[in-house]
Amino acid sequence: MTTTITEIFALPTSPYQGMGVVGIIITSGVSSYFRLSGTNLDHIDSITWYPKNPGSVEFVTRDLILVNPNMGTFMIKVTNNFLYNYDRGGRISIRLDTGETITFPVITYGPVSYQALWQSPYEGLITG
């Protein structure tokens, strides 16, 4: 059976929805959630973000959680930025159990912040 990806939909929607790219929020500590739709998604081994400049950003991911074989969710959260600009770009790679890889371009957006979004309960919101 062939795995196909019909849509990666940002939850909530990103400014790049419907443009064929994945929009990731670049603000540290803010998660980007996505709904993945397609067929035979149970054959996905991993979903990984490869930024254009890997040294410019640290992030964590939550693996794909399937709702059913045709829909699931995953998450990417930036934990630290190392540049003043917001464009980390790159690509999302979806690796299948067959060894095949499906890729989608990435655009990052939102206010840049450095280190943790909340430095302490008394310092408030750090937005860089």
pLDDT tens readout for residues 50-92: 998 888 888 999 999 999 999 999 999 988 877 655 567 899 9
On whether residue 117 sits in a domain, the answer given is no
The larger pLDDT score, comparing residue 62 to residue 114, is at 62
On whether residue 16 sits in a domain, the answer given is yes
What confidence score (pLDDT) does residue 116 get?
53
The larger pLDDT score, comparing residue 48 to residue 19, is at 48
On whether residue 127 sits in a domain, the answer given is no
On whether residue 76 sits in a domain, the answer given is yes
Range of the domain at 99: 4-109
What confidence score (pLDDT) does residue 127 get?
47
Residue 121 pLDDT more than 70?
no
Q: Closest Cα partner for 46 from 69, 29, 65?
A: 65
118: which DSSP letter?
B
**CATH number, residue 19:** 2.60.40.10
How many whole angstroms separate alpha carbon 47 and alpha carbon 119? 30
Q: How many domains does the chain have?
A: 1
Positive or negative: CA dihedral 54, 44, 30, 23: positive
Q: What is the DSSP string of 51-112?
A: -SSGGGEEEEEEEEEEEETTEEEEEEEEEEE-SSS-----EEEEEETTS-EEEEEEEEES--
What confidence score (pLDDT) does residue 62 get?
95
On whether residue 32 sits in a domain, the answer given is yes
**Among 42-46, 51-55, 96-100, which stretch is predicted with the lowest mean pLDDT?**
51-55
The larger pLDDT score, comparing residue 109 to residue 76, is at 76
